[in-house]
A and B are shown apart, each in its own frame.
Chain A
Amino acid sequence: MANDDSGQRVLRHAAVDRLFHWLTALAVLTLLVTGLSTVLGLKYSWVPIHWITGVVLTLAVLLHLVRATFWQKLRCMWVGVRDFRDTLAQRPPGKYSLAQKLMHHALSLVIVTGVVTGLCMLAKVDTPWWKRNPYFFSADTWGIIYVLHGLVALLSITLIMIHVYFSLLPEKRLYLRAMWRGWITPAELAANHDPKRWQGQRGKRA
Chain B
Amino acid sequence: MLEPGGQHMELVRVTTDAWGQQVLEGISWDLLPVAVAIGAFVIFAHAIWRFTRKGRKG
> Which residues of A approach B to under 8 Å, CB–CB?
36, 39, 139-140, 142-144, 146-147, 149-151, 153-155, 157-162, 165-166, 169
Q: Evaluate contact between B42 and A162: CB separation under 8 angstroms.
A: yes
Which of B35, B38, B43 contacts A165, CB < 8 Å?
A: B43
13 contacts between A and B (CB under 8 A): A139-B21, A140-B24, A146-B24, A146-B25, A146-B27, A150-B29, A151-B27, A154-B34, A157-B32, A157-B39, A158-B39, A161-B39, A169-B50
Q: Contact between B32 and A36 (Cβ–Cβ < 8 Å)? A: yes
Give me 8 other A-B pairs in contact (C-beta within 8 A), A139-B17, A143-B25, A147-B24 excluded.
Answer: A146-B26, A151-B27, A154-B31, A157-B32, A157-B36, A158-B36, A160-B39, A161-B40
Q: A36-B32, A165-B46 are in contact. Are A147 and B27 (CB under 8 A)?
A: yes
User: B1 at interface (Cβ–Cβ under 8 A)?
Assistant: no
B residues 21-58 in Cβ contact with A at 8 Å: 21, 23-27, 29, 31-32, 34-36, 38-40, 42-43, 46, 50
- CB-CB under 8 A from B24, the residues of chain A are 140, 142-144, 146-147
Bound Cα distance from A155 to B36, whole angstroms: 9
Closest Cβ of chain B to A103, distance in Å, is 11
A112 to B35, CA, bound (A): 19
**Which residue in B17, B26, B40 is a CB contact (below 8 Å) of A149?**
B26
Q: What total of chain B residues lie within 8 Å of the partner, measured CB to CB?
A: 21
In the bound complex, CA of A165 to CA of B25 (Å): 33
- Residue picked from B12, B25, B39, B40, most chain A C-beta under 10 Å: B39
Nearest neighbor of B47 in chain A, beta-carbon distance: A165
Q: Are A154 and B27 in contact (CB under 8 A)?
A: yes
A8 to B57, CA, bound (A): 31
Task: Name the one of B23, B26, B39, B42 contacting A139, with C-beta atoms under 8 angstroms.
Answer: B23
Residue of A nearest to B29 (CB): A39
Residues of A within 8 A of B27 (CB): 146-147, 149-151, 153-154
Most buried by B among A146, A150, A153: A150
Binary contact track B1-24/A, C-beta < 8 Å → 1, others 0 = 000000000001000010001011
> How many angstroms between the C-alpha atoms of A169 and B34 in the bound complex?
24
